[in-house]
Amino acid sequence: MLSLPLYPDSPTERTRWILARRGPKNNHPPRQPYGSFVEDEPGPDGTLWRCHTLLLTNRECAFRCLMCDLWQDTLDTTTESGAIAAQVSTLLPSSPPNPGRRVALKLYNAGSFFDPGQVPVEDYAAIADKARHFDRVIVESHTAFLKGKLAERVLAFRDAIAPAALEVAIGLETVQEVALEKLNKRMTVDDFRHAAAFLAQNQIALRVFLLVRPPFLTEEEGVEWGCRSLDVAHACGATFAALLPTRAGNGALEALAEQGHYAPPKLQSLEACLRYGQSLEGMMRVTADLWDIEPFVKNDDDRACVARITELNHNRGRT
C-alpha cells in the first residue's frame, strides 16, 4: 500500500493538504438556502423552544478547518448582494405559529455570518425584517470577526434585529492547544476567551460548538478534553454548548484515519461528556448533536446509548 503524505506542520501546507483531499461540491442556486428544518431545543428559560434553521448558501469560509465538511454546500464566489436576503425571505412573514412556545431562528452559513464576503452587510436590514419576529436569532462566527473594527458589524446586526435577542455560536472545538492548532482553525483558546468577553460586554449570548474526540486524541483523551472544554466554555459565560462527535466524510479525516491519527468517538464517550456538561452548575445548556448518528451505531448497546442521549437532550429543556 502506498504511504500517505504526513500531515503538515505549517498552516499554509496544511490548507493545501486538506484541499487536495476534497471531493466535488454540491451545486446549489445562489439565492436559495440549501436546507431548512425545524426542531426542539432547550431554551434559556428552561422550556423547549421551537428552532427554525436555515442553511444559507454563500461563499465558502476563508478558514479551511481540518474536520469541516460544510464546504460541500458553499459557493466559490463572493456572495452577491441580495442573495442572503432572498434566502431569508423564504421564512414566514411573521413569527411562526407556535402558540405558547418561544421560537428561535438559526441562520447557519457554513462559516462566519459577519464575514461580508459570505453575508453582505447591505443585506442586514432585509434579514432583520424577518428575523426580528423571532425571540432569538442565532448565527455563527469565527473569533476573527469578533474584535476591533470588524466587530462593529456584530453590534449593527444586534441592533437591527431588536427586539429579538442575538446569540453568536463559535466553534471552539477543543481547548487541547496542540489538537486545536492542528485543526487549522487559525484560532487559539485565548482568542476564544477574548471573543466571549466581547459578547458578554455587549449583552450577546454565546453558544459553543465542541468536538468529542477530535483528531490526534485517543478515546480517553477525547473524553478528558471534552470535559475540560466544557469547563472553559462554562467559565467564559457560554449559555449553550453543543457536543459534536467528530465525523469523517470530508476526505481529510479518512486520510488521517489511515495514518492512525483519527478514529470516530464511541457513543458512550459522547454520553459521558454530555452528562458532565449537564452536571455543571449555572445556566449553560448542554446537548449532544445526533444528526446522522447512524454511522456511529454498531450494536444494541449503542442504540440504547442514543436513546439515553436523546432523553438527556430533551430533559435539559424542561422545567
Q: What is the pLDDT of residues 4-43, one digit of tens each?
A: 578 999 999 999 999 999 999 999 999 999 999 999 999 9
- Per residue in 219-277, pLDDT tens? 999 999 999 999 999 999 999 999 999 999 999 999 999 999 999 999 999 999 999 99
> Contact, 176 vs 209, CB < 8 A?
no
Q: What is the pLDDT of residue 99?
A: 62
Residues 6+ apart with CB under 8 A from 210: 172, 173, 174, 226, 229, 230, 233, 241, 242, 243, 244, 273
Predicted confidence (pLDDT) per residue in 264-286, tens digit = 999 999 999 999 999 999 989 99
Per-residue pLDDT of 164-221, as tens digits, reads 999 999 999 999 999 999 999 999 999 999 999 999 999 999 999 999 999 999 999 9
Cβ-contact 178, 170 below 8 angstroms:
no
Q: Distance (Å, rounded) from C-alpha 254 to C-alpha 64? A: 16
Encode pLDDT of 71-88 as tens digits: 999 999 999 999 999 999
Q: How confident is the model at residue 314 (pLDDT cuts 50, 70, 90)?
A: confident
Q: Can you give the pLDDT at residue 93?
A: 55
Q: What is the pLDDT of residue 232?
A: 98
Q: Which whole-number Å values give the CA distances from 88 to 153, 166, 187, 227, in the listed order?
A: 18, 16, 30, 36
Give the 3-state secondary structure of residue 26. Answer: coil
Q: What is the pLDDT at residue 1?
A: 34
3-state SS class at 237: coil
d(CA 269, CA 224): 10
Amino acid at 45: D
Give residue 110's pLDDT: 96
Containing 229, the helix (H) or strand (E) segment is helix 219-235
Confidence category of residue 122, pLDDT binned at 50, 70, 90: very high
Burial code (b: 16+ CB inside 10 Å, e: under 16) for 8-35 equals eeeeeebbebbeebeeeeeebeebebbe
> Residue 91: what pLDDT?
83
Question: In the chain, what are the domains?
Answer: 11-315 (3.20.20.70)
Q: CA 205, CA 155: separation in Å to the nearest integer?
A: 12
Q: Confidence class of residue 318 from pLDDT cuts 50, 70 and 90?
A: very low
Mind listing the pLDDT tens digit for each residue in 168-181? 999 999 999 999 99
Q: Rounded to whole angstroms, how far apart are CA atoms 86 and 236?
A: 35
